[in-house]
Amino acid sequence: MPVQSSDVQCLYMNGNNFIAGTGRRLRKRWIFWGAIFLWACVGVWNISRTMPPGTDVSTPPAAVDAADIRFLADLTYTGPQGPVYEQHIFDEVFDIVDRAETFIVADFFLFNELMGATDSPHRPLSRQLADHLMARKQAKPGLAVLLITDPINDVYGGSPSPLLAQLRAAGIEVVVTDLRKLRDSNPAYSALWRMFGQWWGPGDGGGVLPNPFDTEPAHISLRSWLSLLNFKANHRKLIVADRADGRLTGLVASANPHDASSAHSNIALLFTGEPAQRIIESELGIASFSGWRGHMLATSPQVAPATQPGTQLSFVTEQAISNHLLGAIATTRKGDVIRIATFYLSDRQVIDALLQAAGRGVAVRIILDPNRDAFGRQKDGVPNRPVANELVTQSAQRIEVRWYRTHGEQFHTKLALITRGDRLIASLGSANLTRRNLDNYNLEANVALDTALDSALASQMIGYFERLWNNEGGTEYTAPFGAYRDTDRGRYWRYRLMEATGLSTF
């Protein structure tokens, strides 16, 4: 049968349509896989990028006179007459400010008056610190004051802080940390945010979405929420200033000048001398990569040798905190003791190191927050309860765990004490024992201390832990492990997923 011209034309058109359709499908596939490849590349780059100046610091141990070091602790507990608030840390912070001669460098994560959903009694720490800073600046107009903080206090641009604005108006240099320069702990989301969301810029103070940190009717923008979901922070809490005698005073803490956090239990180390100088250098690096173009000359004079040799301090930040702690745990042997008191414990390297230490016959005692209270909201115990169950079970109960009895506030302490032979090795400061805090994601600051076990300082720090562990004086500071034991496998694997991916706030 002869082929008609219309048939040829139809075949030709169908062929063209087939080729065109195939080309479109191929283009869509290339676009899709190209986008996935770009997303993966951005994610990988930003979890491994070079750390910016001032971060991942580990300073050489410096000999410090034991008389120039003080361990401080804030505790909230229930006594016979009701709630008791023992608070010392910010009294010392205010004293450092009030005695400053030529400069102050401070770095605090939370510095705001927001109360969240809590209506419990509080101390107006943010206002008190702001008033002390402004009063000292007014008394000494030549005083250089640099305050570094986190964008959370402006709700990532969505709700500009009146308190920070007031400090700036008083001549205090306020630097909001540029978190984009840090690595991404939540890469699955943050890679997309870097590709599309960050170009919108910060929030502008307007919006229709709820403010996650306050119950007031004020709202924030979608841009602020998108920034928040990166789950990263400058989490440091410290202050350094000089004194009339020319010496530097430093304080590194787990405590924030934050009204809703004012009842939390916390710890700090107050010291003078060389380590404080190293803190300044680190903080100026953070201020510089965050856009600060100022100048501050803050040098420490020559210090006489310690009259009580044997006490050494190092300033450690970010992953250097992990390196120091894991190294100290790894050298423990039977007869040594590891004491940890912390708000969060979830880092897999730390967990493995503790299990191995217990297997070597090292006594391991841990005081944890039960992870149930969060500024008036209730949590379900993740990550501490599943982790505690793992530690106790996997160690055949050689690892002992107790829970701090909170009543709306948090056991916000971050303290590790390792008794090794006749020495006490300690690490304390802002860093929780989590992947985000220890693996070069958040900005963190700790002090590493090495001192004689029979020193007054060692006795004070160990005495603090034992007071809580043993419920000394008849006060029930801590509860036994069974009070919050959690054997739920669903919560355990949810913790593991959250810790591994960064899809969490811990």
Task: Please report the pLDDT score of residue 3 as a whole number.
Answer: 46
**Mean per-residue pLDDT, 124-132:** 97
Please state the three-class secondary structure of 297-366 as a single string. CCCCCCCCCCCCCCCEEEEEECHHHHHHHHHHHHCCCCCCEEEEEECCECCHHHHHHHHHHHHCCCEEEE
Task: Please report the pLDDT score of residue 29 as a whole number.
Answer: 84
pLDDT digits (tens, 9 = 90+) for 254-291: 999 999 999 999 999 999 988 899 999 999 999 999 99
Task: Please report the pLDDT score of residue 77 as a whole number.
Answer: 97
Predicted confidence (pLDDT) at residue 1 exceeds the cutoff of 90: no
Task: List, in order, residues 6 or more apart from 67 with CB less than 8 Å away.
Answer: 307, 308
User: What is the SS3 assignment for 418?
Assistant: strand
Task: Please report the pLDDT score of residue 211 as a whole number.
Answer: 83
Predicted confidence (pLDDT) at residue 410 exceeds the cutoff of 80: yes
Task: Tell me the torsion sign for CA atoms 240, 243, 246, 251.
Answer: negative
For residue 89, give the nearest of 64, 70, 109 by alpha carbon.
Answer: 70
Task: Please report the pLDDT score of residue 248 as a whole number.
Answer: 94
84, HSE (Cβ side, Cα atoms, 13 Å): 12
Task: List, in order, residues 6 or more apart from 107 with CB less than 8 Å away.
Answer: 147, 148, 149, 234, 236, 237, 238, 239, 283, 286, 445
**Mean per-residue pLDDT, 207-231:** 82
pTM: 0.92
Residue 102: pLDDT band by 50, 70, 90 thresholds? very high
More confident residue, 301 or 317: 317
Task: Please report the pLDDT score of residue 119 as a whole number.
Answer: 64
For the record, the structure tokens of 48 come out as 């491994």
Task: Please report the pLDDT score of residue 117 as a whole number.
Answer: 54
Cα 404 to Cα 397: distance, rounded to the nearest angstrom: 19
Task: Please report the pLDDT score of residue 304 as a whole number.
Answer: 45
Task: Tell me the torsion sign for CA atoms 212, 437, 148, 237.
Answer: positive
Mean pLDDT of the chain: 91
Task: Please report the pLDDT score of residue 375 as a whole number.
Answer: 80
Predicted confidence (pLDDT) at residue 199 exceeds the cutoff of 90: no
Task: Please report the pLDDT score of residue 308 as a whole number.
Answer: 47
**Mean per-residue pLDDT, 183-191:** 96
Which domains, from first to last, does the chain contain? 62-289 (3.30.870.10), 312-501 (3.30.870.10)
Residue 118: pLDDT band by 50, 70, 90 thresholds? low
Instruction: Specify the DSSP class assigned to residue 38.
Output: H
Task: Please report the pLDDT score of residue 300 as a whole number.
Answer: 52
Predicted confidence (pLDDT) at residue 341 exceeds the cutoff of 60: yes
For residue 58, give the nearest of 453, 350, 333, 326 by alpha carbon.
Answer: 326
